[in-house]
Amino acid sequence: MNITVTADKPVDEKLTVKVTVPAAEVDAAIKQAYKDIANKYSFQGFRKGRAPRPVIDGIVGREAVLAQATNDLLGAAEPQLLEELDLVPVGRGDYNQDADLPVEGQDYSYEVVFNVRPEAKLDSYDAPAINMPPNEATEAEIDHQIKQLLSYQAKFENTKEKRAVKEGDTIGVDIKNIEGAAHMEGEDRVLTLNGTQAPKELEEALIGMKPGEEKEVKWTHSHTHGDEVHSHDYDINVKVVAHKKSVTPELTDELAKNTFGYDTVEKLREAVKSEIESDKKNSLPTLKEDRVVEAVGKRLQLDEVPEEYKNEVFNEIAQEFLNGLQQQGMSLDMFLSARGIKTDDFIADLRVQAEERARQSLSLDAMAAELKLEATEEDIRAEFERAGVPNVETAIEEWRKAGRLPAIRESIRRSKALDWLRDNATVTIVDEIAEAAKEEKKAEKKPAKKTSAKKAPAKKKAAKKSEDAKKDAE
């Protein structure tokens, strides 16, 4: 389609585009609209597809035909105008619903308004300075990994504490089934009151009890299956046996051999060192990219990311996450239930991620503009080749006709900006595990503050929720 496209600079993240369609294209669209309607409907006295224009005008209406022709013209022109402007809009274009209908033999002009990303600026365009772990495995990293391995061998032992149970405690309980809870029955069952291991009604009943105390607990659990609501009644007798503490076994040659399959502790450490360094070969390049993007994202001079763009990024992240779960054969409900995460908390966490990713993307756009980076036809071809497309030239042309190449160019420019940041970043090697261990020891040695006679007002602390969900979604 031979159209004319003009656009002024965006105002308040809105770009107004003026399009003119030549008369020949208008006539062809109107002719095709009549043909489509004649083939779609049966008109008495005429074979399908043979009804003349006056008959169609009298039954369907001239304006209805022109309205269809208009929609066809707009739909055909949009991919071309996106390609000509190299535009990746946010959401769909806003077409003037009150615009005049096209007239045969005349050019047709109209306006469409697109939401666009803000033209953001950075407070600095220098390559950032970041910290990175060393390529080799450090003693602190090996110690940390072995500590993790030993934690899986930890056992719970009774303590002599007699205080009342509170949220977060790990306790042993005896449970006797009275009604509907045979699967919960058992002696000295270990429960951690963290909202994931036991029904909330049972956890609420246990809080405040002391070792040796027992009580009867009843509750009803309801769930929906299709259009039906099912309820199940539970009635148990629960007794708090004792508070529990986790005891990690000491690492010895015997434990290394019997549990991990290595003859000595030293050989276990060598195996862990080799595994850490192998993992770093794959993880450190990605970590470096993540850190330079995070650093440059903090330089964005933008008070608020437009809501439309945040919603678009939120939908992208959510879809990526759901696709990942699907590949694992897991539903979102299964994921949230396994981790004890509330749906509202999960969505709120995704929105935080969407805000962060949006700011980072805008920062990369700003870097690409500052560095005057471009996406060439060779770059586009290479992108399709990396994707393993069978017929690259055909695929590129299909994407061009669909108005989708601007998104590819945008991605290429961002990748080039990221490459520049990564290659030029100032890197300081830091044994981060060792530093974290030092800080932990300092915190342990720090003496508790003395409380004054005058009671200080309590301060509420905000707790960050669903950290596991954030890690999985990333």
**pLDDT tens-digit series, residues 307-324:** 999 999 999 999 999 999
**pLDDT tens-digit series, residues 126-163:** 999 999 999 999 999 999 999 999 999 999 999 999 99
pLDDT of residue 255 exceeding 90: yes
**pLDDT tens-digit series, residues 232-243:** 899 999 999 999
Of all residues in the chain, the percent with pLDDT exceeding 90 is: 80
pLDDT band at 447 (very low <50, low <70, confident <90, very high): low
Average pLDDT over residues 66-87: 95
Res 226: pLDDT:
64
Q: How many Å separate Cα 317 from the centre of its chain?
A: 3
Average pLDDT over residues 179-194: 92
| Per-residue exposure over 259-288, b if at least 16 CB sit within 10 Å of its own CB, e if not | bbebeebeebbeebbeebeeebeeeeeeeb
Res 97: pLDDT:
74
Q: How many angstroms separate the CA atoms of 42 and 86, rounded?
A: 43
Average pLDDT over residues 35-39: 94
Q: Are 41 and 60 in contact (CB under 8 A)?
A: yes
pLDDT band at 369 (very low <50, low <70, confident <90, very high): very high
Res 208: pLDDT:
96
pLDDT band at 53 (very low <50, low <70, confident <90, very high): very high
pLDDT band at 337 (very low <50, low <70, confident <90, very high): confident
Contacts of 399 (CB under 8 A, 6+ apart): 405, 408
CATH numbers and ranges of domains, the chain: 4-116 (3.30.70.1050), 155-247 (3.10.50.40), 260-427 (1.10.3120.10)
